[in-house]
A and B are shown apart, each in its own frame.
Chain A
Amino acid sequence: MISLAGRDILHSWPKFVLTGIGLGLLIGVTLSMAGIYRGMVDDAKALLNNSGADIWVVQQETQGPYAESSSLRDDVYRALLALPGVSRAANVTYLTMQVRLDNTDVRAMVVGFEPGQPGEPSYLIAGRHITRSHYEAVADVKTGFQLGDTIRIRRHDYRVVGLTRRMVSSGGDPMVFIPLKDAQEAQFLKDNDAILNERARTTANPSLNRPGVPGLLDAILAAQNANHNVNAVLVQIAPGIESEQVASEIRRWKHLQAFTRAQMEEILVSKLIATSAKQIGMFLVILAIVSAAIVAFIIYTMTLGKIREIAVLKLIGTRNRTIAGMILQQAMGLGLIGFMVGKTAATLWAPFFPKFVLLEPGDAVRGFIVVMLICALSSTLAIRVALRVDPATAIGG
């Protein structure tokens, strides 16, 4: 038996191809939306992987440092190093800001880290690691910075000495790594006018500037201008030790919040990007409904255009299932063309998105199955119409 659907598609292939391209672009948008969500999840995981930590220690009763702000004294790490099972602990700061290069600025997450400690970029694609204590930076290539560029962070200039890749915040902003001390200053140090103003206020306060207590005012002023805060301490644990065991010790004895890798992943994926994920999910649902409506409408109108032929086919003894199969196969054919166009389009335009778009093969397979199901469901309307065609309409009168 010949394939009626195949012959019809071959006969009117320009119509099918053009319709398939239109549908395919819609499917491409749908796949890209899924890719954007996957990219967000991957960014979050990349952030955790790149930090090199087993445990994130943050301010008590916060979910920092990525989902909430967190502030710790920078000597906390010493106490953590003394805990059993902790092999390394290092301070880090995270600050999302506009980093200037000449007259342009780039949104980036500025990471303060201690060279050779957790938090350092794990690999470079060009240049070298930071070796000086100040004013050197390693930047992710997505910032667009080049080796040797001079970038401005707050009041200081930094020279880009290394480039790295896939070092992004959970929001997809590329990272710029600078020495911890510089980062603390960038995040916590007030501007000069504010410092002068604060000094004047302190000096004018009689309870802080007592005539009979020499050195008190100087000590207070020094404390006000010092930067001894960090956002988190990244902890690496010794091999064979359960990270949850160490984390619970930190929570209990150090009065700090400690998250294991699994807990931090839960915060990033389930909480931080949850709203975005729901937003994308809504888009996916709407796009699926729109795609289904389009396929249903196209197949329905195509079927209406063949009512006479269908009546003749029924009159000459064609089984209902052959006619239903013809319409179903055409819908599936349209879906197949649409999916191929959509997958190709999504793959081609994904690199041009400002944020990472991760097109996973598994999503493509699931997308293909969903497209085929939508096409099959959408064809039911046309099949109902075709099966209701009275073969008598082929005979005049």
Chain B
Amino acid sequence: MKGFGIHIEGLRKRYGEGDTAVDALKNVNMTVAPGEVVGLIGPSGSGKSTLLKCLGAVIEPTAGRMTLGDEVIFEDSWKIPDLRALRRDRIGFVFQAPYLIPFLDVTDNVALLPMLAGKPNGEARKRANELLDALDVGHRAKANPSQLSGGEQQRVAIARALANQPPVILADEPTAPLDSERALSVVRILNDMAQQFRTAIIVVTHDEKIIPTFKRIYHIRDGKTFEEQGLGAA
């Protein structure tokens, strides 16, 4: 993949109008290279979720520019007509809770995305099983999500996020429900996957256990981002 994983310049988001308008994002700048994992931390109400929703093409920013790979996807308005397809094919999501589909087995939870993208079932399942093996949960491929431990579920969620080989993954508090050992394991996996698949990963977190593992960290405060070197770079 050429260029940036994701690049954001002067991103703004305003809710409401007139006297009741609130600027949730005032001037967000961020660059995450392919294969890089960065942390995004900030207090409650700082704009983390709004930024994640803008990056995830779930809400429309008010102004700014976002580039995914080599393509400008937003410049004061969306440049991509089908945001659903954008989210499906080019953005991976990992949530605080795994939110696996309870009525699909592990393989199909992962294979669902390639299937939605139009891949034949066999090919989608093959891809899913490769990812599950890479994340060391291949032996649970036929299990239901409810039969997995919390750590296993989160690894399946990461496999799902990687299923369509997106250039960027947005991880929203992915280690929150896990103990230290499992949380660090998830971060290790994210780093490995970022390297292996040349994916840019943004991890929104409050988790003190994993913050030291990031090489670069973006702080967000009052709708603005500040970059700092992380301890993981040492």
Q: Which residues of A contact B115 (CB under 8 A)?
A: 1-2
Given contacts A2-B112, A316-B88, A322-B116, contact A309 B95 (CB under 8 A): no
Q: Mark A278-322, 1 if CB is under 8 A from B, else 0.
A: 000000000000000000000000000000110011111111001
Of A7-15, A83-91, A153-161, A334-342, which binds chain B? A7-15
Contact B95 A394 (CB under 8 A): yes
B13, chain A: closest CB distance, angstroms: 12
Whether A397 is near chain B, meaning CB under 8 Å from some CB there, is yes
Contact B101 A312 (CB under 8 A): yes
Whether A223 is near chain B, meaning CB under 8 Å from some CB there, is no
- Which B residues between 67 and 91 are near A, CB-CB below 8 angstroms? 84-89
Whether A392 is near chain B, meaning CB under 8 Å from some CB there, is yes
Given contacts A7-B108, A317-B116, A396-B96, contact A2 B89 (CB under 8 A): no
Q: Which residues of A contact B50 (CB under 8 A)?
A: 397
Whether A391 is near chain B, meaning CB under 8 Å from some CB there, is yes
Given contacts A315-B87, A315-B93, contact A10 B101 (CB under 8 A): no
A310, chain B: closest CB distance, angstroms: 10
Binding site of B, secondary structure by majority: helix, strand, loop or mixed? Answer: helix
B233, chain A: closest CB distance, angstroms: 27
Contact B95 A317 (CB under 8 A): no
Q: Mark B85-122, 1 if CB is under 8 A from A, else 0.
A: 11111000101100101111000100111011100010
Contact B53 A395 (CB under 8 A): yes
Contact A2 B99 (CB under 8 A): no
Contact A396 B95 (CB under 8 A): yes
Q: Mark A360-397, 1 if CB is under 8 A from B, else 0.
A: 00000000000000000000000000000011101111
B17, chain A: closest CB distance, angstroms: 20
Inter-chain CA distance A41–B164, complex, in Å, is: 63
Inter-chain CA distance A236–B83, complex, in Å, is: 80
Q: Which residues of B contact A317 (CB under 8 A)?
A: 84-89, 113, 116-117
Contact A394 B108 (CB under 8 A): no
A329, chain B: closest CB distance, angstroms: 13
Q: Which residues of B contact A11 (CB under 8 A)?
A: 102-103, 144
Contact A8 B108 (CB under 8 A): no
Inter-chain CA distance A11–B103, complex, in Å, is: 5
B103, chain A: closest CB distance, angstroms: 4
Given contacts A1-B115, A1-B116, A11-B102, contact A316 B144 (CB under 8 A): no
Q: Which residues of A contact B96 (CB under 8 A)?
A: 396
Of chain A, the residue at the smallest CB distance from B52 is A395
Contact of B113 among A8, A314, A316, A391 (CB under 8 A): A316
Of chain B, the residue at the smallest CB distance from A10 is B103
B165, chain A: closest CB distance, angstroms: 14
Contact B116 A309 (CB under 8 A): no
Contact B173 A396 (CB under 8 A): yes
Whether B195 is near chain A, meaning CB under 8 Å from some CB there, is no
B20, chain A: closest CB distance, angstroms: 20
Q: Considering only CB atoms and an 8 Å cut-off, how many residues of chain A contact the other chain? A: 26
Contact A395 B49 (CB under 8 A): yes
Given contacts A395-B52, A395-B95, contact A7 B104 (CB under 8 A): yes
Contact A392 B104 (CB under 8 A): no
Given contacts A317-B87, A317-B113, A317-B116, contact A309 B58 (CB under 8 A): no
Inter-chain CA distance A106–B34, complex, in Å, is: 91
Q: Which residues of B contact A312 (CB under 8 A)?
A: 93, 95, 99, 101
Given contacts A392-B58, A396-B95, contact A319 B84 (CB under 8 A): yes
A94, chain B: closest CB distance, angstroms: 63
Contact B93 A12 (CB under 8 A): no
B62, chain A: closest CB distance, angstroms: 16
Inter-chain CA distance A397–B89, complex, in Å, is: 24
Of chain A, the residue at the smallest CB distance from B170 is A395
B89, B101, B112, B115, most chain A CB atoms within 10 A: B101
- Which B residues between 134 and 153 are near A, CB-CB below 8 angstroms? 144
Contact A392 B99 (CB under 8 A): no
Inter-chain CA distance A394–B101, complex, in Å, is: 13
Inter-chain CA distance A394–B52, complex, in Å, is: 11
Whether B56 is near chain A, meaning CB under 8 Å from some CB there, is yes
Q: Which residues of A contact B113 (CB under 8 A)?
A: 316-317
Whether B224 is near chain A, meaning CB under 8 Å from some CB there, is no
A139, chain B: closest CB distance, angstroms: 60
Whether B59 is near chain A, meaning CB under 8 Å from some CB there, is yes
A-B contacts, 26 of them at CB < 8 A, read: A1-B116, A2-B108, A7-B104, A309-B99, A309-B102, A312-B93, A312-B101, A313-B101, A314-B84, A315-B58, A316-B112, A317-B85, A317-B113, A317-B116, A317-B117, A392-B53, A392-B59, A394-B93, A394-B95, A395-B53, A395-B56, A395-B93, A395-B172, A396-B96, A397-B50, A397-B52
Name A residues whose Cβ lies closer than 8 Å to a Cβ of B: 1-2, 4, 7-8, 10-12, 308-309, 312-319, 322, 390-392, 394-397
Known: A315-B58, A318-B88; 8 extra A-B contacts, CB below 8 A, are A309-B101, A315-B56, A316-B88, A317-B113, A391-B58, A396-B49, A396-B96, A396-B172
Name B residues whose Cβ lies closer than 8 Å to a Cβ of A: 48-50, 52-53, 56, 58-59, 84-89, 93, 95-96, 99, 101-104, 108, 111-113, 115-117, 121, 144, 160, 172-173
- What are the nearest 9 A-B pairs in CB distance? A317-B88, A397-B49, A11-B103, A8-B103, A392-B58, A312-B99, A7-B103, A317-B87, A317-B84
